[in-house]
Structure 1
C-alpha cells in the first residue's frame, strides 16, 4: 500500500522538538513516503508553566525555518516533495496576531490546533484539578467551537479530541465521543460550513491502551456523514522514527469511516488523492 502524505510533523524549529529537519526527511524517504509537510508550532501567549519552558518557546525562528526548508527541499527534491506549513495554536485573545502571522508567510498548509484551554495546558496534571473528567472534556470541546468560530485562516483542525491523550487515570475513565455528541456536531458543522478539514492524527495510537486516532473514528465518520470531505494524515512526529506512524492502520480506519482518499496542499490550494 502506498502511504499517504504525512502532513503533520515537527523539527528542531518547534519548541518541543529536538529532531533535525534533515533526520525527519530521511526517515520519511526510507519509509517510501512521497510527500511531507513540516508544521512547526506557533503558540502565542503560551503560559510560563515550568522553568524549562521559557516565554516564547513556541514561537518559531522563522528566518531559520525558511532557510532550512529552502535548502533541504531543494536538496531532496528528486526523492520527496516537501511542503512549508505551520501549526497555529488557537486562543481567542490572539486572533489578530495569528491572522497577521499566517498572512506574512507563503505557507502551503496551515493546521489550527487547540493546545491550551482557558490559558492552561491539559498536558499537565494541574489542569485537571477541581472538576470531573467529563466536565473538563466538555469545556475543551466548547473552547474548540469558540475558537473556530472566531478564526478560520487554517486548512484543517488539528487532532480534534487531542485532550483525551492526557486524561489522568485513563484506566478509570472510558472516553466516548458520543457523550459529547451535541458539541462535537456543532464543531463539525462549523468546520464544514467554512470549508475546513480534519487532521487524522495518528500519534494517539502510540499511547498504551489506545486504539483510536485523534479524532476518534466516531467523529471522523460523523464528519463524513455531515458532508465533510477534507482529511489529511499526520503523524505529529517529534522524533524521526515516528514519521508516518501507524498510517496503514489510519488508512483502514478512514476507509471504514467512508473516505476513499486524502488531500494535500500547495499555496493553500487542496488536491485530492485516492487511496492506492
Structure 2
C-alpha cells in the first residue's frame, strides 16, 4: 500500500499545479493515499500574505481546506485524499497557530522548522566564517527547536528533520549529542518523522533524514512516514520503493500514516 503525505500546490507561490493535479499524479503512481499539505500561512503576521513566494495567504486558508475536502469526497473510492498542512514552527507563536488549526478537520499536521536563529535553514551563507564551536551551537539551536516542536502537542509528524544539510552537506558532519537527544524526545512524545525525498533536488542530493538518524529513530521507537515534498506533480511518490527497501534494511517492520489524527500502520 503506497502513500505520500507531503505535497504542495500553487497556493504557496513556489510550487506548480493544482491540488487535483497532485491527486491525479498519485493515482497514476498507484498510490492508495495522498496527503495534501501545503505551507501554512504566516499566522503570526497581521498582513494577509507577507511572503507570497513562500506560503499561502491567510485569506486562502479556508478555501484551501474547502477544496481538499471537496476533492476528498469527489475521489472517494478511487484514492483516499487526506487533509494536511505543513505548519511552520515558531515557539513564540505556537498558540496562535493552534487557534487557527483547531476549527478544521485535519487528518494530520506536519511541523517543520524552516528558520533557526532567525535565518532560513536553507541559507548556506549562514555557515560562512563560523568557527567549529559556533557551527555546533547553530546545530544545537536547530535541534532544540525540533525538540520543542515535538513537545508542543500540535503535530503528528515532524518534517525533514535534518533539512539544514540541503544546501550545506557538511551539516551532517557537525557532531553534537543534540541530535540523539531530540530523537529520544520525539520517541517519548509519540510522533512520527518523515523520510522526505526532496533532498535530491538540493545540493545534498539525498533524502532527509540521514541513515544515522533513521537508526536512532528505530532505537528510540520513533514512527516513520513518507513524504515526497513534491512541488511538481511528477514527484508524487518519488522513490517510495527505494525508501521502503532502505527502511527494511535498517530494521523497520512498518511505517505509518495518519487519518483523523489516528496512526495507521502499514507493513513494510
TM-score by length of 2: 0.87
Q: Is the 8 A contact 2:42 2:55 kept in 1?
A: no
Partner residue, 1:216: 210
1:33 aligns with 2:31: yes
Partner residue, 2:120: 121
How much has 1:243 moved relative to structure 2? 0.4
How much has 1:216 moved relative to structure 2? 0.6
SS of 2:234's equivalent?
Answer: helix
1:193 aligns with 2:188: yes
Q: Is the 8 A contact 2:218 2:252 kept in 1?
A: yes
**C-alpha deviations, 1:119-150, integer Å up to 9, x for none?**
22132344334425884465244333245335
CA distance in 1, matches of 2:213, 2:13: 30
Aligned length: 261
Partner residue, 2:197: 202
Which residue of 5, 16, 22 corresponds with 1:24?
22
CA distance in 2, matches of 1:15, 1:146: 26
Partner residue, 1:183: 178
1:94–1:257: structure 2 CA closer, same or farther, 3 Å change rule?
same
Gaps of 5+ in 2: none
How much has 1:103 moved relative to structure 2? 1.8
**C-alpha deviations, 1:2-46, integer Å up to 9, x for none?**
5x3101111123242232111111111001011011111125379
**C-alpha deviations, 1:171-197, integer Å up to 9, x for none?**
xx47337x23x1011101111111111
1:274–1:154: structure 2 CA closer, same or farther, 3 Å change rule?
same
Q: Is the 8 A contact 1:117 1:140 kept in 2?
A: no
SS of 1:204's equivalent?
Answer: helix
How much has 1:88 moved relative to structure 2? 1.0
Gaps of 5+ in 1: none
Q: Is the 8 A contact 1:156 1:198 kept in 2?
A: yes
1:56–1:31: structure 2 CA closer, same or farther, 3 Å change rule?
closer
1:221–1:68: structure 2 CA closer, same or farther, 3 Å change rule?
same
Root mean square deviation of aligned Cα: 2.6
1:175–1:23: structure 2 CA closer, same or farther, 3 Å change rule?
same
1:248 aligns with 2:241: yes
CA distance in 2, matches of 1:110, 1:145: 20
1:183–1:196: structure 2 CA closer, same or farther, 3 Å change rule?
same
SS of 1:249's equivalent?
Answer: helix
CA distance in 2, matches of 1:162, 1:106: 28
Partner residue, 2:162: 161
SS of 1:13's equivalent?
Answer: helix
How much has 1:200 moved relative to structure 2? 1.1
TM-score by length of 1: 0.85
1:226 aligns with 2:220: yes
Alignment of 1:66-145 (within 5 A): 66-132=65-131, 135-136=134-135, 138-145=137-144
